[in-house]
């Protein structure tokens, strides 16, 4: 991930240059490899580069042939080689994947954005008429903010810290949107069929789903630097690792860096993820790197995490801290890019609260709501936890084409039906249940969902709550509504994070960039209505899904395992875990 900062239409231009350089340096952690700054009249484009593709010549800002169109970009364009073939009369200055953007604009105007297959945020300046265009990728994998100065200037930055001190008002730049100075406002360029939340009816075809995800993973093996996979041992990261290991040998990356895949996992000593990840790594034959941290290590890092992640959302901070610590270790090994498993639970209804979805319509609409909100939660975590140390995270489950395939399936197939052997994400599990050429061991393929903040070790969350209890008094909680008018914290843990956040980002605009509302086990506020008991147990941990999670709060007993494929326990009248169905799909 790179860092971009644009100041458009500012006053006192010469004096502003020093300030723009200063603010751009706040983003240097995102791109430690090179810095660039372009000025044209009252406009500045700044860039902090993390070199992944064409490290030798891809420095930014980037230009078209006559350098009249200038662009600063954060992201990766996976189809850049195909797009270059659509531009035969254009001369490219570099081999960077992002070099196509200026030329596409020159050829097609503002409507080219939907042609891009990748994750990106960019600002493009057309010096011919002093107009500009800014855009963010479909789901919001890359972070982006927009702000307005009192002098009439518009500011666009990869992170809040690049603009919060200079803007009278700022907000999240919405995913799937572009801002055009010609029209003076935002408009949505990403308009997939699922966005309307109408109920799809395409029958489930496991091979179509499998091929779509394999394509999503393999296109993300495009790299000129060492890379690896984040492996928690859960279904999503294990599938990413398995597919990557299968296809790595045929890639340019393998010729440069070797065909043996590196995998990375983090957790407290003895945590569920460490054990499961080691088993998957051994099965796949990866070079596995296991990082341990203590509860105190995590607590000591909380302030740095909140500064970098730029949120006070409880579940995001819980999950970001281990990822933040792991990313530092990964960078120390010389790795600059990782592939990760975010997005699957939103697309397939993998969170444990989906067990209580009353019907397929509610199920599907909740997945739509979850995908639309990803940029405020898991995308934010994955992007900023890794970017804090100059590492890029790629997320194949959020591939545009894969989402289209997965979200067109009749949601009746996604419904959790334990009596039929259909646990959460059953259609994804079945798609990769290949008896002849197994992707994963059966018990990993059918492992119950663990949220990242739980899987790294249950005592992590318990330790955070205990720490907050020591620093936030009952008296402070009584006055919380008078101090924090927006998203008033309702727990001491939330209050503790909010105090730290407001110290770094005191503006009212900053408060509003963070989502709020009731949630249980990562649900939206709407889904809390599915079970009346949940309103009394609002906690984002998966263990809050009482009657669903194998180690739910108040039900923390070991889960019985009858054999390698069978996982079952009865809690509150619900059978948890299932026997892996005897299903096979031949390639």
Check if the beta carbon of residue 6 is closer than 8 Å to that of residue 45.
yes
Check if the beta carbon of residue 355 is closer than 8 Å to that of residue 574.
yes
Q: CA 385, CA 539: separation in Å to the nearest integer?
A: 22
Selected catalytic residue, list 2, 10, 167, 265: 2
* 126 annotated among ligand-binding-site residues: no
Q: How far is CA 84 from the centre of its chain?
A: 28
* 230 annotated among ligand-binding-site residues: yes
Check if the beta carbon of residue 342 is closer than 8 Å to that of residue 398.
yes
Q: CA 445, CA 433: separation in Å to the nearest integer?
A: 8
Q: Which of 203, 220, 191, 248 is nearest to 397 (CA)?
A: 220
Question: Directed axis angle between helix 492-504 and helix 314-332, to 10°?
Answer: 60
Q: Quote the tokens at residue 61.
A: 């800002």
DSSP conformation class of 177: E
Neighbours of 181 (CB within 10 A): 18
Q: CA 126, CA 68: separation in Å to the nearest integer?
A: 6
CB neighbour burial string for 11-23, b if at least 16 within 10 angstroms, e if fewer? eebeebbeebeeb
440 CB burial (10 A radius; 0-12, 13-18, 19+) = buried
Q: CA 505, CA 41: separation in Å to the nearest integer?
A: 30
CB neighbour burial string for 137-147, b if at least 16 within 10 angstroms, e if fewer? bbbbbbbbbbb
- The yes-or-no answer on residue 379 being catalytic is no
Give residues with Cβ within 8 angstroms of 414, minimum separation 6: 348, 349, 360, 363, 364, 367, 425, 426, 427
CB neighbour burial string for 151-177, b if at least 16 within 10 angstroms, e if fewer? eebbbbbbbbbbbbebbeebebbbbbb
* 266 annotated among ligand-binding-site residues: yes
Half-sphere exposure of 418 toward its Cβ, with a 13 Å CA cutoff? 18
DSSP conformation class of 103: H
Question: Directed axis angle between helix 295-309 and helix 314-332, to 10°?
Answer: 100
What sign for the dihedral angle of Cα 35, 162, 375, 280? positive
* 340 annotated among ligand-binding-site residues: yes
Give the residue numbers annotated as catalytic, written as ranges. Answer: 2
Q: Extract the annotated binding site.
A: 97, 230, 266, 340-341
Q: Extract the annotated binding site for ATP.
A: 230, 266, 340-341
Q: Extract the annotated binding site for L-glutamine.
A: 97
């Amino acid at each position: 991930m790179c860092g971009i900062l644009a100041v458009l239409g500012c006053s006192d231009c010469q004096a502003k240059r020093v300030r723009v350089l200063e603010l751009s340096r706040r983003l240097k952690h995102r791109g430690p490899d090179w810095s660039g700054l372009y000025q044209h009249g009252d406009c500045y484009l700044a860039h902090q580069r993390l070199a992944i593709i064409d490290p030798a010549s891809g420095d930014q800002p980037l230009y078209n042939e006559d350098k009249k169109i200038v662009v600063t970009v954060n992201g990766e364009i996976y189809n850049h080689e195909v797009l270059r073939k659509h531009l035969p009369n254009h001369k490219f200055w570099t081999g960077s994947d992002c070099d196509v953007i200026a030329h596409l604009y020159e050829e097609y105007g503002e409507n080219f954005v939907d042609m891009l297959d990748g994750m990106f945020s960019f600002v493009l300046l057309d010096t011919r008429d002093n107009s500009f265009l800014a855009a963010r990728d479909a789901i919001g994998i890359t972070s982006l903010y927009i702000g307005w100065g009192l002098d009439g200037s518009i500011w666009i930055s990869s992170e809040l810290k690049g603009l919060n001190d200079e803007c009278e008002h700022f907000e999240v730049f919405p995913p799937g949107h572009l801002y055009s100075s010609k029209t003076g406002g935002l408009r949505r360029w990403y308009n997939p069929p699922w966005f309307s939340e109408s109920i799809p009816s395409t029958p489930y075809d496991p091979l179509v789903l499998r091929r779509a995800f394999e394509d999503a993973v393999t296109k993300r093996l495009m790299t000129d630097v060492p890379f690896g996979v984040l492996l928690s041992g859960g279904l999503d990261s294990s599938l990413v690792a398995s597919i990557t290991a299968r296809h790595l040998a045929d890639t340019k990356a393998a010729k440069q860096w070797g065909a043996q895949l590196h995998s990375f996992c983090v957790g407290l000593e003895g945590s569920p993820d460490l054990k499961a990840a080691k088993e998957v790594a051994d099965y796949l034959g990866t070079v596995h790197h296991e990082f341990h941290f203590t509860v105190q290590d995590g607590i000591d890092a909380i302030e740095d995490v909140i500064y970098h992640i730029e949120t006070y959302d409880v579940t995001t901070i819980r999950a970001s801290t281990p990822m933040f610590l792991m990313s530092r270790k990964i960078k120390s090994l010389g790795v600059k890019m990782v592939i990760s498993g975010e997005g699957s639970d939103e697309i397939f209804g993998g969170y444990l609260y989906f067990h209580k979805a009353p019907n397929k319509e509610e199920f599907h609409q909740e997945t739509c709501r979850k995908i639309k909100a990803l940029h405020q939660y898991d995308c934010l975590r994955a992007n900023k936890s890794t970017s804090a140390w100059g590492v890029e995270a790629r997320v194949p489950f959020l591939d545009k084409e894969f989402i289209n395939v997965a979200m067109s399936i009749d949601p009746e197939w996604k419904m959790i039906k334990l009596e039929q052997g259909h646990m959460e994400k059953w259609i994804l599990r079945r798609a990769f249940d290949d008896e002849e050429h197994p992707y994963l061991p059966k018990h990993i393929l059918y492992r119950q969902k663990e949220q990242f903040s739980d899987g790294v070790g249950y005592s992590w969350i318990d330790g955070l709550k205990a720490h907050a209890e020591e620093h936030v008094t009952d008296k402070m909680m009584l006055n919380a509504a008078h101090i924090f008018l927006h998203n008033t914290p309702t727990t001491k843990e939330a209050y503790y994070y909010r105090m730290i956040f407001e110290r770094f980002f005191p503006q009212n605009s900053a408060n509003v960039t963070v989502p709020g509302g009731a949630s249980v086990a990562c649900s939206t506020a709407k889904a809390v209505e599915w079970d009346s008991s949940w309103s009394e147990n609002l906690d984002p941990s998966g263990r809050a899904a009482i009657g669903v999670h194998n180690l739910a709060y108040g039900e923390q007993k070991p889960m019985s395992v009858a054999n390698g494929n069978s996982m079952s326990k009865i809690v509150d009248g619900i059978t948890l875990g299932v026997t892996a169905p005897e299903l096979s799909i031949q390639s």
